[in-house]
Structure 1
Amino acid sequence: MRRKTFVRVGLSALLLLGTLATSGVAPAAAEDATAAASKLSPGLVSAMQRDLGLTRNQAEARLAAEKTATAVESKARHAAGSSYGGSWFDARSGKLTVAVTRHDAADAVRTTGATVRLVKYSAKQLDAAKARIDALTAPRGVSGWHVDSRANRVVVNVVTAQRRDNDVQAFLARAGRAGPVTVEETATAPGTFSAGTVGGDPYYTGNVRCSIGFSVYGGFVTAGHCGQPSAAVYGWDRSYIGNFQGSSFPGNDYAWVNVGSGWWTVPVVLGWGTVPDQLVRGSAEAPVGASICRSGSTSHWHCGTVLAKNETVNYSQGSVYELTKTSVCAEPGDSGGSFISGDQAQGVTSGGWGNCGSGGETWYQPVNEILNRYGLTLHTA
């Protein structure tokens, strides 16, 4: 069943685990909730029901609210000006919340439809603090760091078992001098989700198996740690697809592969026979707090929420910057696959910790950054 579906939709049924100028996509205007719901994949809604504990009506209402919040975000950021301190989607209120540092910016932000929270530090100040931490060399016990707009701090994550390690303590001391920093613990260090050769999976390069991300005209995007430039790529049936045309890892975690030899691209995220295939209609970036779903060759469809953006993740191979953190689980072989919010492409799976039995967290490289880097155009419905 899985092979038949993959051949039918072709190479672009890119799915699963691992700026906007090139894609030409503008934030979508808010739609009538009923009309929007009619366009939703039943599989997407059912996956949100399972993983987020929602009813069908709640899932459809949340997707409609998130679409509105996505459209509001750029307007609210402009209205906040230099006072902007970050933004996130609040699932309880169904609205976008925008942090501002000055009272005089609050009214302008409210006119856009967003709610407001007053904070001490602007996004520019927090980003500057994070950039100073990016310049440091992190020990293995530090798993990553990101700007948390809701906390109005830079959060540094450390592995619990290594919290008292001398190198970790020295790093935290230096990070604390960079600006407003708080420390949180995580049970496990992050890793990538590539895997050794296993039969029946979407694509192989060397002895590594990864998942396809999103179709672009001329090929597909995926994770950089899955292959080096010029490396040959083979499909689930071991037939030749193309080659890595560009790849970056660590530092970044993105790549793209050209498509030929009878393979073709379509604007689809594969459902693997578990849920219906999902059409891709654009790449408008979802805010922090929004629901997001992932599909891939190993663990198939799973959903969660966007936890943080612009996070630096400290893998054993080196740090990767500007990743987006989610509560979605993933497993080996899911690297490179698609993250999607509603019908909008979000990114390709980079890595994470945990699995889909006990749970975990996963990071993705935003798709618009990849499109801009390589001058690619997303294939959309």
Structure 2
Amino acid sequence: MKCTRVARVAGAVVLATLTVAPGTALASAGDRGSELSGEVVAAYQRDLGLNADQAVERVGLERTAAANQKAARELTGAAYGGAWFDAASGKLVVGVTDEGKTRVVQALGAEAKVVPHTAASLTDTKNKIDQAGKAPSAVTGWYVDERANSVVVTVRRGVVDDEVAKFLDVAKAAGPVSVVETDRAPRVYADIRGGDAYNINNASRCSIGFAVSGGFVSAGHCGSAGDSVTSGGQSMGTFEGSSFPGNDYSYVKTGSGWTPSPTVNHYGGADVVVSGSTESAVGASVCRSGSTTGWHCGTVQAKDQTVNYQEGSVSGLTRTNACAEPGDSGGSWVSGTEAQGVTSGGSGDCTSGGETYFQPVNEILSVYGVSLITG
């Protein structure tokens, strides 16, 4: 079962009594968006339709939104109803169940929206569905949709058999749930073809996530503890730990001949230098790197989604509309230069499009007690 971790911010009492001038953001993430390389900007243009100035501006706005999201959660307390980045306004939108908290949100420079359900109640609903037992294969996943203020359960289009109906009845009894039909079913992106990136037991192939102290992190379905890892025919190390299903993360401990680097392969452009791991908000742009399809971008659609793979359910994933394909598994996700996670799986491909899910990197770092290598 996936552990739920509650982040506690030091000095919460001080934050709760902080006075902020109306229309002023509590925190500014700086103008690090100006550091974007030409290759990163080109990907934003190709996948998000943004020119260079728009890409730099958006990354700056998203960083400010990510910083203020933390403050908004603390200042609205039990009335917090979730938050997301609105690309049209360039602002963070914060849901609150108490209209009296809207002024607090607006004082951060964010927009407030009164919603019926708290984020805590939506998470509780999703957790109850997680514990409802094995889902039928036609149910492809479920997640908290912060914009809709509901838990969304996705089901293969046209499948309405008794097993699915029974599962949906249980889900709806857990709390506010809506059902969305989909034409695609997610699958893990491990590809038994070998060759590129890194290989497991000289057979299957996956992609490196991020360099960390002692090795690198990747997807859990790529290998199990003790499995050997090679790259370019050379011994690289072994899986020190792995979790899948339930979670989808792993830690590979590498030998002394391998030097960790704070970079992500851009495939055709200059490497992206990772500067940290600040989590971006729903609605923010995000890009991924993988050994099959290279570099692609999209936006964050939802967080804490449970995906029901054939091998079992994985919870706590982030949903995106960026594409990926087999062999991209374990690869890096970055927002600007901030590490976000490692590729788990998805539906569709980079020809027709689809959804891709990643395992957030901060949880992986915490579980294995390792540090991200940054530039």
* TM-score, normalised with respect to structure 1: 0.90
Name the residue aligned to 1:15. Answer: none
Name the residue aligned to 1:139. Answer: 136
Cα drift, residue 198 of structure 1: 3.4
Secondary structure in 2 matching 1:195: coil
**Does the CA-based 8 Å contact 2:153-2:179 persist in structure 1?**
yes
Gaps of 5+ in 2: 8-25
Name the residue aligned to 2:335. Answer: 341
Secondary structure in 2 matching 1:46: helix
- Pairing partner for 1:180 from 168, 176, 181: 176
RMSD: 1.5
Deviations 1:169-211 (A, max 9, x none): 1111111111110000111110000101233x01000221000
Name the residue aligned to 1:197. Answer: 193
Matched residue type, 1:339:
W
- Pairing partner for 2:312 from 313, 318, 321: 318
Give the Cα separation in 2 of the matches to 1:75 and 1:311. 23
**Does the CA-based 8 Å contact 2:34-2:56 persist in structure 1?**
no
Name the residue aligned to 1:101. Answer: 97
**Does the CA-based 8 Å contact 1:89-1:290 persist in structure 2?**
yes
Matched residue type, 1:303:
C
- Pairing partner for 1:252 from 232, 242, 247: 247
Cα drift, residue 168 of structure 1: 0.9
Matched residue type, 1:364:
F
- Pairing partner for 2:258 from 260, 263, 275: 263
Name the residue aligned to 1:52. Answer: 48
For residues 1-381 of structure 1, the aligned pairs below 5 Å read: 29-32=28-31, 36-136=32-132, 137-162=134-159, 164-199=160-195, 201-206=196-201, 207-235=203-231, 237-272=232-267, 274-381=268-375
Cα drift, residue 108 of structure 1: 1.1
Runs of 4+ residues over 6 Å off in structure 1: none
Give the Cα separation in 2 of the matches to 1:185 and 1:215. 38
Give the Cα separation in 2 of the matches to 1:100 and 1:20. 19
Cα drift, residue 43 of structure 1: 1.4
Cα drift, residue 38 of structure 1: 3.4
Give the Cα separation in 1 of the matches to 2:171 and 2:73. 28
Give the Cα separation in 2 of the matches to 1:110 and 1:261. 52
**Does the CA-based 8 Å contact 1:147-1:309 persist in structure 2?**
yes
Secondary structure in 2 matching 1:311: strand
Deviations 1:144-186 (A, max 9, x none): 0011111011000001142x12211111111111111000011
Gaps of 5+ in 1: 1-18, 22-26
Give the Cα separation in 2 of the matches to 1:92 and 1:275. 29
**Does the CA-based 8 Å contact 2:150-2:178 persist in structure 1?**
yes
Give the Cα separation in 2 of the matches to 1:348 and 1:127. 22
Give the Cα separation in 2 of the matches to 1:56 and 1:153. 35
Cα drift, residue 359 of structure 1: 0.3
Cα drift, residue 100 of structure 1: 0.1
Give the Cα separation in 2 of the matches to 1:43 and 1:73. 29
Give the Cα separation in 2 of the matches to 1:346 and 1:30. 16
Give the Cα separation in 1 of the matches to 2:254 and 2:350. 31
Greater RCO (CA < 8 Å, at least 6 residues apart):
1
**Does the CA-based 8 Å contact 1:20-1:369 persist in structure 2?**
no
Give the Cα separation in 1 of the matches to 2:256 and 2:369. 23
Give the Cα separation in 2 of the matches to 1:361 and 1:343. 22
Give the Cα separation in 2 of the matches to 1:20 and 1:126. 15
**Does the CA-based 8 Å contact 2:33-2:336 persist in structure 1?**
no
Name the residue aligned to 1:4. Answer: none
**Does the CA-based 8 Å contact 1:240-1:261 persist in structure 2?**
no
Secondary structure in 2 matching 1:301: strand
**Does the CA-based 8 Å contact 1:28-1:284 persist in structure 2?**
no
Give the Cα separation in 1 of the matches to 2:334 and 2:209. 10
Give the Cα separation in 2 of the matches to 1:153 and 1:205. 40
**Does the CA-based 8 Å contact 2:341-2:358 persist in structure 1?**
yes
**Does the CA-based 8 Å contact 1:20-1:368 persist in structure 2?**
no
**Does the CA-based 8 Å contact 1:227-1:244 persist in structure 2?**
yes
Change (3 A) 1:38 1:129: closer
Deviations 1:319-353 (A, max 9, x none): 00100000010011000000000110000000001
* TM-score, normalised with respect to structure 2: 0.91
Name the residue aligned to 2:23. Answer: none
Cα drift, residue 261 of structure 1: 4.8
